[in-house]
Amino acid sequence: MKQVVQNYRTGNLSLEDVPAPICRRGGVVVRTCYSLVSTGTERMKVTQARMSLIAKARARPDKVKQVIDSVRQVGLAESLNKVRERLDALTPLGYSMAGIVEEVGDGIDDLRVGDLVACAGEGIACHAEFVAVPRNLCAKLPEGVDPADAAFATVGAIAMHGVRQAGVSLGDTVLVVGLGLVGLLGVQILKAAGCKVIGVDLDEKKLALARDCGADLALHRNDSALIDAIEQATNGFGVDAAYIAASTKSADPMTLAGEVVRDRGNVVIVGMVPVEADWQTYYEKELNVILSRSYGPGRYDASYEKKGVDYPIGYVRWTEGRNLEEFLRLVGNGSLNPKQLKPSVYPLTDAPDAYQALHDGAGDDAVAILFKYPTDAPLTRRVALASTAAQNGQAGSVNLALIGAGNFATATLIPAMKKADGAHLKAICSAGGLSARSAAARHGFEYCTSEFDEILRDDSVHAVVIATRHDTHAAFAAKALSAGKHVFVEKPLALTPSELQDVITAQQASGRILMPGYNRRFSPLAQSIQSTFAKRSSPIEIVCRVNAGALGKDSWYQDADEGGWRIASEGCHFVDLIQFLAGAKIERVYAEMIGGHVAGQQNDNCISTLRLEDGSIATLAYIANGDTAAGKERIEVFGQDTTAIIDNWKQATIHANGKKETIAPKGTGKGHAAEMAAFVNAIRAGGSAPIGIDDAIHTTATTFAISESLLTERPIYVADVLSRPAGEEATDG
């Protein structure tokens, strides 16, 4: 399919061939008829992307801080590589469109193939021939509604939510400041609600459009009689509410609102303006300042937008989905008419030129731009990139397919795959298609796809590398093994005992290599320390302190279904490392955490005591409430008058017999390249997995035991977890 994309480093826009997204449970795939360009919002995005790197940094100080924190944690080289990957990745544009349902996912019973729908969501309802949309972000069109009008629904819902936030009612007078796309739709909605509307802008053409949309007055901001005209129109009382839809760095909209809004009136901010006002003015009138967040309740809530969990209507009357539906209803009965905004319409093939004109200012006359799509675009989920001469690499190469194209996959795993002798980058897959297409072009994969089964059907693919979100790891690994592929799966291997059993069954039936991504045991630092204690004759003590830092409560890592909690998804690294350093399996665990939720975190502050089968003991301290400037990881090993320390994987020191040895490899030395090389070499040589399947199973079961210990507040034997029938859950003892 064709999609409009942008390179964030250069700002260049292009129309690219991209695999169409797959249809997921709880969603639909829609063939686009029209998509809307919000000239104000999207011009800002295009302009920001074309800034210099220094200007980008000034515009996003929050991102600069993240980079600085990353440098402290993992070093300059690794951090720069991550930044380059993000800058060079192709990004989607658009967030409002309408089209025809092409595929319906499981769990959807109120939409059918052929239905006309309007769709919303940044990065979801984008400028592409096909889009995959969760159910709560699409609304069925009423009979007779033109898809060109329905393409305005997302912006219409934004305007509508602002009107609701303003708290106006029949007969109120409302000042609309800023007559761009949102402001003009706001004018129409306010008129449909029975309000008197006064529009203010700096552009005479937009003032004329406001009059066409029904504004009772449309006044230039610099008109010397502006204040007098508003006083006269309101019988000297002032407007009941100001609806600020402008986008400016000036505080003038807030100043104007303070002057003309009546005593105890409302000022609702829908656009992007500084929230600055004269205290005396706002205090004396006791004005209410209200911000309007996008298109209504549900926005930014993953459970609503992605998982389809709706809010009960008795508690939340107007969600973002219901606002979409109401906008379409009003268009259907003629109360709203997007055509009055006189949008410019371009065929999709002219999209880059339309954006260029917008950036150059030639498109200033257009409040909105619509892209019109072909009706016969093929739905394709595989796009070839490399020449046929490059196919299958050299004789004896291991053809790798990467599943998942997130930042870790592209910044860490792909460089490791490239370095592995005998590895050939065959294919890359992502459910949305675009991230796979972007990575394939940058890194030289032969083809990209959005369909996992496409990889499984390809007999030339020898092995798959799975780097998707955690809840998919076990299922993808089991399917790939059953298809006869060798599998490298990033941690965690599984999130539940039943998932783990599925993977074990598939591996045993296939006989293929299954290797989890426990890279730290392949680090030269870990290898050196392991060899130091390899010939010991007594137990050792190991302390792993992970100063992981806090995650936001909305992080997918904190989602029990998708992320599986950080001990299962990240702590498994250190469980494996402890077993590797000791050369023995963990026998029993006991874990405690700071009670309940800490600063919004889901039990991340956890300390586990681990007893190993050879009598050694270890402590895994997973910390989320420390200062990340102190370094993320510190490993200490004690035994037989020897002490070894790994400091954040930058260097190791070994103290023995009064002497000190320092080991300092290049980079952070976390072992990603070495683990991938070991995986590829094992396939080429027909050998066994570099991490034995028993070790992989035991590590995963140990993380389950830690979780169970937290739940039951008692020690848990790992053998008990392994012997428990799959699907049987631990209970609070």
Kind plus residue range of the DSSP H or E element containing 30:
strand 27-38
Q: Are 193 and 163 in contact (CB under 8 A)?
A: yes
Share of the chain above pLDDT 70, in %: 89
**Is the predicted pLDDT of residue 285 greater than 90, yes or no?**
yes
Q: Is pLDDT of 523 > 60?
A: yes
Instruction: Label residue 421 left, alpha or beta by phi (over 0 means left) and psi (-120 to 50 means alpha).
Output: beta
The pLDDT value recorded for residue 514 is: 97
Q: How confident is the model at residue 724 (pLDDT cuts 50, 70, 90)?
A: confident
Q: Encode pLDDT of 694-718 as tens digits.
A: 999 999 999 999 999 988 999 999 9
pLDDT of 733 above 50? no
Please tell me the least confidently modeled range out of 273-277, 295-299, 623-627.
623-627
pLDDT at 386 over 90: no
Residues composing the chain: 733
Q: What is the pLDDT of residue 58?
A: 63
pLDDT for res 88: 80
**For the residues 24-52, what does the mean pLDDT come to?**
82
466-482 exposure pattern, b = at least 16 Cβ within 10 A, e = fewer: bbbbbbbbbbbbbbbbb
The tens digit of pLDDT for each residue in 50-63 reads 666 666 566 667 66
Evaluate if residue 466 carries a pLDDT over 70.
yes
Mean pLDDT of the chain: 91
pLDDT score for 594: 85
Cα 110 to chain center, whole Å?
A: 27
Res 387 pLDDT > 70? no
What whole-number distance in Å separates Cα of residue 573 and Cα of residue 491? 8
**What pLDDT is stored for residue 467 in this prediction?**
97
Mean pLDDT value of segment 115-133: 97
pLDDT of residue 206: 95
- Backbone φ, ψ for residue 355 (5° rounding): -65, -40
- Mean pLDDT value of segment 584-597: 86
The least confident of 87-96, 324-333, 643-652 is 87-96
Please state, as a whole number, how many other Cβ atoms lie within 10 Å of the Cβ of residue 24: 18
Give the mean model confidence (pLDDT) for residues 112-137: 97
Nearest to 526 by CA among 411, 663, 631: 663
- Residues pairing with 427 in the sheet: 401, 447
Report residue 43's pLDDT band, with 50, 70 and 90 as the boundaries.
low
pLDDT digits (tens, 9 = 90+) for 152-203: 999 999 999 999 999 999 999 999 999 999 999 999 999 999 999 999 999 9
**What's the confidence (pLDDT) of residue 60?**
63
